[in-house]
A = this chain, B = another copy of it.
Amino acid sequence: DFEHAMDEVKPAFGVESDALERHKLQGIIPHGPEFEHMIKTCKTLVDQVKNSEKTPMVTMLLEGAAGSGKTAVAASLGLESDAPFIKLISAENMVGYSEGSKISYMVKVFDDAYKSPFSIVILDDIERILEYVSIGPRFSNPVLQALLVLLKKQPPLGRRLMCIGTTSLAGVMESMELTNVFNVTLNVPNLNGQGVKTVLEHIKAVSVEELDAATNLLDDTNGGGLPVKKLLLLVEMARQRSNEQVVPFSYLVECMQDLAL
């Protein structure tokens, strides 16, 4: 069980467990077969880097809608991997950095990673690291180029490296040729009707009687599925307003409107 395994991760040398934990504050709820197959593939790839002689480096891109859980999944994989070196590269740690400083920072992380026999480097929210905005579009080409090179460069002999990227802009990654340099691209799915139900049950958000009504409500409103992060925020808001852990249906409806779901 993936979620369970996450719970017993022990602090490791060179691993910022706390930082990683903060990115999956609300745990990982296995919400359906599509999600679980994705997790299984991820784990096989981590094992491949750990064990195969001929593939000392594997790069994997997790793409999915905003709030679908990409960062939480990447953090969980890291925590679960037993790798002696795990590092999450995030725009949060580079606010206001010049392009040069960003590149130095990332080169440094990769150099550190090369020193450990087996390392995991997470590039969280690649569009943010690249300062991408669709107006223009604009982004930092030097940073992009550095990524394109770092993701293709083999580690030194005897070292192994797993690189996990996350993005909610798969199309943009494609046209930047980033998709090309990742060995594998996996989709982190949104919740479909069944997934919404599973989550609501799992966190005991509504009474058993109202579960189907709630699921229908949320299922109807959203074409491409519902991001798990939005659903958890919605429940929290409704709990706050109703002042109850098991939320009455009417509160859910009200909060949905305010969140424009």
Mark A residues whose CB is within 8 Å of B.
22, 25-26, 41, 44-45, 47-48, 51-52, 54-55, 66, 91-92, 95-96, 100, 103-104, 107, 128, 131, 133-135, 137-139, 141-142, 144-146, 148-150, 152-154, 175-177, 180, 183-186, 232-233, 236-237, 239-241, 258-260
Nearest first, the 5 closest Cβ-Cβ pairs linking A and B are: A96-B103, A48-B240, A131-B145, A52-B240, A91-B149
Q: How many angstroms between the C-alpha atoms of A224 and B77 in the bound complex?
A: 35
- Some 15 contacts from A to B, beta carbons below 8 A apart, are A25-B54, A25-B154, A41-B258, A45-B237, A47-B240, A51-B240, A54-B236, A55-B236, A92-B153, A96-B100, A96-B142, A133-B176, A135-B139, A183-B259, A186-B258
Q: Are A177 and B133 in contact (CB under 8 A)?
A: yes
Task: Decide if A141 touches B148 in the complex (CB within 8 Å).
Answer: no
The answer to whether A145 and B241 touch (CB under 8 A), given A103-B96, A236-B54, is no
Name the residue of chain B whose CB is nearest to the CB of A94: B149
When C-beta atoms are compared, the residue in chain B nearest to A67 turns out to be B180
Given A177-B134, A184-B259; A146-B92 close (CB under 8 Å): no
Q: For residue A100, which residues in chain B have a CB less than 8 angstroms away from its CB?
A: 96
Q: Which residues of B contact A142 (CB under 8 A)?
A: 96, 131
Q: What is the distance, in angstroms, from A228's C-beta to the closest C-beta of chain B?
A: 14
Known: A133-B177, A141-B138, A142-B131. A96 touches B92 (CB 8 A): no
Query: Distance in Å from the Cβ of A214 to the closest Cβ of chain B?
Result: 19
Chain B residues with CB under 8 Å of A51's CB are 240
Residues of B within 8 A of A135 (CB): 137, 139, 175-176
Q: How far is the CA of A148 from the CA of B125 in the complex (A)?
A: 11
Q: Which of A66, A145, A153 is packed against the most chain B CB atoms within 10 Å?
A: A145
User: Which of the residues B95, B183, B258 comes within 8 Å of A150, measured between beta carbons?
Assistant: B95
Inter-chain contacts of A239 with B (CB < 8 A): 52
Give bound CA distance, A161 to B120, whole Å.
32
Across-interface contacts of A149 in B (CB, < 8 A): 91-92, 95, 128
Query: A176 to chain B: which residues have CB within 8 Å?
Result: 133-135
Q: In the complex, what residues of B have CB within 8 A of residue A66's CB?
A: 180
Given the interface pairs A145-B91, A259-B184, the reply to whether A107 lies near B103 with Cβ below 8 Å is no
Check A154 against B96 for contact (C-beta < 8 Å): no
Name the one of B25, B104, B139 contacting A96, with C-beta atoms under 8 angstroms: B104
